[in-house]
Amino acid sequence: MEYSLIDLHEHEFSTEGLSVEFGIIDTLPSFAGVQLEDLEMQQMEEVKYYLLNLEQYLRLYESSSKDSYRADKNNNKDIRKIEFLKSMLYGNQKSY
């Protein structure tokens, strides 16, 4: 598929402007408070995968933003993602 390793620590691969990162699913409950039984299974043709909803992504990025490696490496990208997710979940409310 011609992906190149970009960042081993973040498990990030890239090809033709597309970046893909992955993590170990078993760590979601302890790392981000996302329970495995709450994940929604998706299927495309013969491939099955789990897709997080907006709230689960928010929990994941909030937890990730506390990691010193990501905070140094990502130059606040996680913060922008958190703000975007909150705006998608809560609209223009300033309750967050």
Question: Mind listing the pLDDT tens digit for each residue in 62-72?
Answer: 998 887 766 66
Q: Which helix (H) or strand (E) holds 50?
A: strand 47-51
**Mean local confidence (pLDDT), 82-93:** 88
**Mean local confidence (pLDDT), 10-31:** 90
In whole angstroms, what is the distance from residue 41 CA to residue 70 CA?
A: 28
